[in-house]
Amino acid sequence: MESLHYLLMKSQALFSRRVLGEASKLGLTPGQPKVLDYLMQYGEADQKTIAAYCEIEPATVGSILLRMEENGLIIRRQKAGNRRSIYVSLSEKGAQAARCMAEVFHSAECLATQAFSAEETAALKCALVALCSALAPYSEKEGREGH
């Protein structure tokens, strides 16, 4: 059997290729689907929160959001009393794109887990949550050290 790191990288690459192929058909660029997904799930948020959730550098999120705003997918605004942070929410066009991407994500998940029972799929999700929890402190430390 292949190593864990290889299997994780390969499954992520195959899954991403599938999702991003469908996203491009909707006119979306690589960073946009996960931003749409986040905003659909959690509503309005600031750029820093979106970047952290999506595992994207804040400057990169800024570029992604600029393009999304130019394409009418999001609305950016300041909240009263907080002039330093810009808050982002979905426009109606963005909400429609997010709904389409939710279908793409669901379809890709169904394809990826078609050989799994419901219990195996739940166990996989639990294992991936544990994996992310185990790796997150190291990722945060590297970010602080500038790696």
CATH architecture of 4-112: Orthogonal Bundle (1.10)
Mean pLDDT in order along the chain per 10 residues (147 residues): 95 96 96 97 94 92 95 90 83 98 97 97 97 84 49
Q: Which two tokens stand for residue 132?
A: 């992310």
Calpha distance 108→110 (Å, rounded): 5
What's at 76, amino acid-wise?
Answer: R
Q: Which two tokens stand for residue 17?
A: 């290729």
Q: Which two tokens stand for residue 147?
A: 């790696």
Mean pLDDT score of the chain: 92
18-40 pLDDT tens trace: 999 999 999 999 999 999 999 99
